[in-house]
Structure 1
């Protein structure tokens, strides 16, 4: 299954399993754990030995997430935005300006690498010494790449009861982010149909 760093950042706000919403980046410790679990996606941005987030870095990442989620809401329109923050979203113009500003904090240059007998590859090199700046800029560039790529047209907000995730449709008929959400949505529909049928058959109806 293809992974998108921008989508994983947005998904740090998620259903907690008990009817509420939880934030994986609510503390520096949670932020550090999230970063370390994505070392494969952030390898070029992280220093050797990894990175420990402090409150300032956590705040920068969550502010970037606000911008990304606002632009995701714009991306799924006219469909519904995630119910987690649909009423408190940053404006699209503010989100766009913030995303571009963060992406520009780290000057990078492309470097072509072409080993003998191998295929040429490109990587971005940076002279930035602050690993926090490199990390947040890398997250912003991942969002720029995601939102300017073909997957944006398949971006949806899951409409299953209690789910607040965004997801990328993998096939044309997909309505929910994962099978468990589909099961919950179908159960809710069945319950509503039963209630309507019971109300229609009630005396005096």
Structure 2
């Protein structure tokens, strides 16, 4: 199996795209889990809302094989996110049907390898040298490969230790912990969790 190694790209971009991909599985606000990537149209909408995913994202189109490839990367990412938050509990959205870790690693690495890339050195006058990657000559950008590389970059980068799963009522999000006392992905989730705890205490003392 290929080994996942560190990415030489933008850590912030990797974090944003990796998290946003995972969050295409979300709570629908009505007690169920929604999936934004159920058909090619959903994938097109998502990519066009994330213009850094591939070149010319505004003109991106998708078919069923492209959708299936991205969904595989997402499944691998969510399985590895679940591993990353241990000993905490994973997102309840798919906690009972996560890919085995070795399978997730294999799928992610295989997807990342589909588009050969080359390092490109940038060195602006007011900054240090930066290495980025781009498709090798003749290679076509592959969305699933780009997403897989972003997930790898996130998992090997400095933000991974801050990854948490939000367990507030009706939430299935992963998020980055911003300060030591943060338990929830956003204040509204904290409010719901406190209300739920209050009601539970009242029931126990009634």
Instruction: Give distance in 1, aligned partners of 2:181 and 2:138.
Output: 44
Aligned partner of 1:82 among 81, 87, 91: 91
State the partner residue of 1:21: 33
Deviation at 1:151, TM superposition (A): 1.3
Out of 181, 184, 190, the residue aligned to residue 198 of structure 2 is: 190
How many Å apart are 1:49 and its aligned residue?
4.6
TM-score by length of 1: 0.88
> What is the root-mean-square deviation of aligned Cα atoms in Å?
1.6
Question: What is the Cα deviation at residue 112 of structure 1?
Answer: 1.2
Gaps in structure 2 of 5+ consecutive residues: 1-11
Give the structure-2-normalised TM-score. 0.87
Counterpart among 106, 119, 143 of residue 97 in structure 1: 106
Are 2:174 and 1:162 aligned? no
- Structure 1 residue 113, shift from structure 2 partner: 2.7
Superimposed CA distance per residue, residues 113-161 of structure 1 (whole angstroms, 9 cap, x where no aligned partner): 335x343433312135434x2x211101110011111211111110101
Q: Is the 8 A contact 2:48 2:57 kept in 1?
A: no
Greater relative CO, 1 or 2 (CA 8 Å, sep 6+):
2
CA distance in 1, matches of 2:197, 2:118: 52
Aligned match of 1:141 in 110, 134, 149? 149
Please identify the structure whose Cα radius of gyration is greater. 1
C-alpha contact 1:106 1:128 (8 A) present in aligned 2: no
Compared CA separation, residues 98 and 21, structure 1 to 2 (3 A):
same
Q: Return structure 1 stretches of 4+ with deviation > 6 angstroms.
A: none
Name structure 1 gaps, 5 residues minimum: 199-205
